[in-house]
Amino acid sequence: MVQEEVIPQDEKVFCQQVDTSPLMIWMAGCNALYCYLNSNWLEFTGTHLTKGGPASARVEEISKIWACSVHPEDRQRCKNIYLKAFATYNSFQRQYRLRRSDGKYRWILDTAAPRFSADGSFAGYIGYCVDVTEVRPTLRENCSASTNSSRRLCKLTEQKQAAKLKKAQKQLQAETAKRQVVESQLRQKTSEFTAILQVLPDLYFRINADGSILDYKPGKIGNQYISTEDCQGKSLLECLPTAICDRFQQAITQVLETQSSVSFEYTLPLPQGNNNFEARLLPLPDQQIIVLVGDISDTVQTALIESDTKFRTIIENANNVIFALTLEGIFSYVSPNWTEIFGHEIAEVEGQSFIPFVHPDDVPICADYFQRIATTTEKQDAIEYRVKHKNGSWRWHTSNSSAIRDANGNIVNFVGICYDTTDRKQAEVALRECAQREALLNRLSNQIRASLDLNYIVETAVREIRDLFQIDRCAFFWYRQEAEVTHWEKVYEAKSSFLPCLVDEQEATSAEIELIAAKTLNREIIRINDVETVTDCTAQLFLRDFGFTAFMSLPVHTKSGEIGTFSCGSCGGFRPWLDNEVELLQAVTVQIAIAIDQAKLYTQSRIAAQTAQDKAQQLEAALLELQQTQTQLIQTEKMSSLGQLVAGIAHEINNPVNFIYGNISHAREYTKDLLHLVELYQQSYCPPTREIHQQIYNIDLDFLKQDLPKILDSMNMGAERIRQIVLSLRNFSRLDEDGTKAVDIHEGIDSTLLLLQNRLKAKLGCPEIQVIRDYGNLPPVVCHAGQMNQVFMNLLANAIDVLEESFVTCTERSRTTSWKQATRSVSQRSISHLSLVNNSKQRTNDQEQMTSPQIRIRTLIKEDRVIISFTDNGPGMTEEVRKRLFDPFFTTKSVGKGTGMGLSISYQIVVQKHGGQIQCISAPGEGAEFIIMIPLHEQPST
């Protein structure tokens, strides 16, 4: 059997009582070592004690737990106060940080008093701890007073405790000695054990490991404890309640495992009431156990009374309110300081429900809190609620509560401790109001910077002020004194739904508002807490007409000379305007004045910027028009000069050509006649003379007769060729045509190609450029023929330039490879753009194998438009170049080879003159395609 330190019985009972207390209680022995920590202290810190073991090890474990739970910075200071008190035996208080179960440190107020034994010798200290983190500033002020009270409390309580402890200790020592004798006799003789049982007051039964009763002796309490009829052979579960049987089973398991005695206390409901019993289990051989049950109801009751007295002494001297509630929510106890804090007498509180004392909005919070305490064993966080003072005011309190349970785990009542946090709450409200004011100013400042819309800023300010002040009406007015009739102009109004709207304009000349206007002009604040106190009857009547019972107005003066006012009104009786509210409105008026000035500056700058922008746009339009006019003049002059030159050349060439062309037929006849005559001479004068024969030989007469007709045919072909060129020149220039005319587009393209025929031929370093004509069936198109021929010339000339340059600069290897790829790209791109022109024709396979430079020309009709496409298989162009193709004076050619006007002029001719479209599709390495779309019939020029 493990020997344990003998603890006096009444001290045990006291420890059991304080274990259910919401306070954290500790005790220390005269050796300055902590010997006891109640369950609330262990639960708060999240620590636990090891069961069993010698008493010295337990004391050492408790002291170590206390030291580890205190903040390292506070540990030495607490130890110094503690040891100093042990030297003087005086009560003491200390504040330190204790680590809570969640790892956070909380400020603790620790109050301790000395303990003395019955003979007056010092026995150690007893103390209780309270979490004062939220009320620590207030607690410092009360610390001194609490220390004096605690000293007096502990001195009185410990003297009384010492006598009781000594008496209980003697009784327990006697009982322990008696049990040791009995246990020794039980081991020696079974017969003597039976005799002892006859006189033993405790109930006795012997059980096996599964709880079956093997032997039973009722003792003096047997009849009221358990029925003796047929109990032998039954299990404990058949004789006792389930909860108690579970506790017995735990003790049986512990006895069998440790082979040592185990004791525990429990409450058993009996017909005459609940009795307290102590069960002691002793191990026997063969897995059997002896159970001795003793009635300790009287002892427990006495100890409870004594411990309750001690507990009351402690809590009645505490600074905070301590209370106890029944399960029905009735105050069964409140500490005396309730009267000091709440004003009610104790008799007015005890026996009453807690609900009338709690704010109606907070009653559900409290009810839910106690419900959670009753349904869970976990410690609940503190709650905040309002308690009604006797003077009618509401005081904020923070409360911690716990449930008191009996030995069977049933809730007996609730106990709690609460402390006043009204000052902290008021400080929080003040800080919140300050934060709201700052937030309002910040919002207005941000809106001024972001919006610069004066009306929007004013509307926001009016709404925010009304919501913040909780008033019935708030409005902003301009004082328009420069108008024909001086009046107030309402900008925005926020009001309660039951109030009428203010008129948009109110004449300021009426006597009703002269007082307001005068004070506004003088930059004075109107501050009326109660309209009934206004001495000016006219002004009072005016305010009453609008339902105001309190009124305030603040003037707004801008740098530009405008005058306005913020008006606030309440319709619910007396309403004091606080200084901080006035300060807030003054800050708002400053922001509004700044916003007005900024809005005016912004408006002026915006007007100036718009004016400058309009002028810039006008100049840009004029410059563009000038450039277009200049381009048109250049083009007109160029075409006029070119047309005159071409027409003159064509005319001058045409005259000798006509002379040659007209005489060739006669020359052919004359030559034929002469040759026939020569043949007749040869036939008639044969043989010829030697001179004639020599001349025939010299001139090779036979060859001459064969070649002379051929020469005449060649001359005829040359004259015809010159005639066609002249006709093409005349068709290209069309100097004699003015305005639009239905023409053959294909004829214009062919004429242009004829003029460029020499450039299409093969040259050194560049093969012949093939032109593939893919003409559709086009009707005559109404257009400016000469201008359209110029467009064709520009596009074809550019394509020839690109193809020639790319062939001259590339190497033989890259020429072969790149041209094959380019040819395929042209073919593929042309196919891909068939959808653009709605042409479903397919390229032939042999075109994909072309390795020479190509220009493909296609024409077709799409709805009411003619589409003309020029595609080359050159190197293509980048997106940046493609976007600028039609800009005036933009060119990628070297200096002297191009002016950058060709495509710009072509764009004007197609788009502006003919109402059509021109676009380019190109990418690097994929050639280029220019697509022209013009209407079949004449369109108004843009």
The answer to whether the CB of 471 falls within 8 A of the CB of 570 is yes
Decide: helix, strand or coil at residue 550.
strand
User: Who contacts 282 (Cβ-Cβ below 8 Å, separation ≥6)?
Assistant: 183, 186, 255, 261, 289, 290, 291, 292
Tell me what pLDDT residue 932 has.
94
pLDDT in tens, 875-923: 889 888 888 888 877 777 776 566 667 788 888 888 888 889 999 999 9
Counts for the chain of helices (H) and strands (E), in that order: 27, 28
**Top-confidence residue, 506 or 23:** 23
Per-residue confidence band for 851, with pLDDT thresholds at 50, 70 and 90: low
Q: Give the CA angle between residues 881, 886, 892 to the nearest 5°.
A: 45
HSE at residue 864, side-chain half, CA atoms within 13 A, is 7
Across the range 40-64, mean pLDDT stands at 82
pLDDT in tens, 803-849: 888 876 654 445 444 444 544 444 444 433 433 333 333 333 333 33
Partners of 401 in the β-ladder: 416
What does the block give as tokens for 549?
């019972």
How many angstroms separate the CA atoms of 336 and 345, rounded? 9
Across the range 766-774, mean pLDDT stands at 89
Tell me what pLDDT residue 206 has.
82
Decide: helix, strand or coil at residue 861.
strand
Please tell me which of 163-172, 322-331, 432-441, 580-589 the model is most confident about, judged by mean pLDDT. Answer: 322-331
Among 668-672, 690-694, 726-730, the least confident range: 726-730
How many angstroms separate the CA atoms of 829 and 424, rounded? 82
Tell me what pLDDT residue 828 has.
45
Per-residue confidence band for 930, with pLDDT thresholds at 50, 70 and 90: very high
Tell me what pLDDT residue 9 has.
47
How many angstroms separate the CA atoms of 790 and 771, rounded? 18
Four-CA torsion 37, 38, 42, 44, nearest 10 degrees = -120
What does the block give as tokens for 635?
């083009």
Across the range 380-393, mean pLDDT stands at 86
- Give the orientation angle of helix 701-733 with respect to helix 745-755, to 10 degrees: 120
Burial class, 926, CB count within 10 angstroms (exposed 0-12 / middle 13-18 / buried 19+): buried
Residue whose C-alpha is closest to residue 527's, from 509, 490, 554:
554
Computed over every residue of the chain, the mean pLDDT equals 77
- 3-state SS string over 247-287? HHHHHHHHHHHHCCCEEEEEEEEECCEEEEEEEEEEEECCC
pTM of the model: 0.33
Region label for 900, one of left (φ > 0), alpha (ψ between -120 and 50) or beta (otherwise): left
- 3-state SS string over 139-208? HHHHHHHHHHHHHHHHHHHHHHHHHHHHHHHHHHHHHHHHHHHHHHHHHHCHHHHHHHHHHCCCEEEEEE
Over 50: is that where the pLDDT of 47 sits?
yes
Tell me what pLDDT residue 708 has.
85
For 496-590, strand residue ranges (E) read 505-507, 526-528, 550-557, 563-570
Tell me what pLDDT residue 29 has.
87
Residue whose C-alpha is closest to residue 76's, from 102, 57, 94:
94
Tell me what pLDDT residue 931 has.
95
How many angstroms separate the CA atoms of 846 and 857, rounded? 17
DSSP assignment of 5-21, as one string?
Answer: ----HHHHHHHHHHHTS
How many angstroms separate the CA atoms of 774 and 312, rounded? 117
Per-residue confidence band for 169, with pLDDT thresholds at 50, 70 and 90: low
What does the block give as tokens for 66?
């206390």
Tell me what pLDDT residue 154 has.
47
pLDDT in tens, 603-620: 788 888 888 888 888 888
How many angstroms separate the CA atoms of 924 and 929, rounded? 12
pLDDT in tens, 734-756: 544 557 888 899 988 988 888 88
